[in-house]
C-alpha cells in the first residue's frame, strides 16, 4: 500500500502511535522497518495513509516519542521511499 512510513525507536512507540492514529480513524499498521530505511538494523515503523502525516507528527510530539524519520512510500520500486522528515536524534 502507498502511504507514509514513520520510523520509531521501539515496538512500544510503534504500537502507541498506531493505536492513537486508529483512534482518530486512520488506517495504520505496525511493520518492520524496510531494511533500506533502517540505518542501524531491525526496528519498527508505523505505516499509514499519507494524509495522516500531520496527525502523526502531532501525536509523536504529544506523547514525547522520537521518530527516526518519516518517508513517503511511493509504491514505485525505482524510487520507493522519499524522505519527508529526518526524525529526532535518538
Regarding 27 and contact with another protein (CB under 8 A), the answer is: no
Regarding 67 and contact with another protein (CB under 8 A), the answer is: no
Q: Which of 7, 13, 60, 70 binds another protein (CB under 8 A)?
A: 13
Tally of CB atoms within 10 A around 2: 12
Q: Nearest CA to 8 among 20, 25, 23? A: 20
Q: Nearest CA to 81 among 30, 41, 45? A: 45
Q: Which of 25, 36, 41, 89 binds another protein (CB under 8 A)?
A: 41
Binding-site ranges for another protein (CB under 8 A): 9-16, 19, 29-32, 38, 40-44, 64-66, 90
Amino acid at each position: 500500500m502507498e502511504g507514509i512510513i514513520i520510523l520509531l525507536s521501539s515496538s512500544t512507540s510503534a504500537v502507541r502511535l498506531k493505536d492513537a492514529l486508529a483512534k482518530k480513524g486512520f488506517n495504520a499498521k505496525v511493520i518492520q522497518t524496510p531494511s533500506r530505511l533502517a540505518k542501524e538494523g531491525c526496528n519498527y515503523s508505523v505505516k499509514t495513509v499519507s494524509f495522516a502525516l500531520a496527525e502523526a507528527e502531532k501525536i509523536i510530539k504529544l506523547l514525547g516519542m522520537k521518530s527516526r524519520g518519516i518517508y513517503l512510500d511511493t509504491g514505485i520500486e525505482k524510487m520507493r521511499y522519499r524522505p519527508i522528515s529526518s526524525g529526532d536524534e535518538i
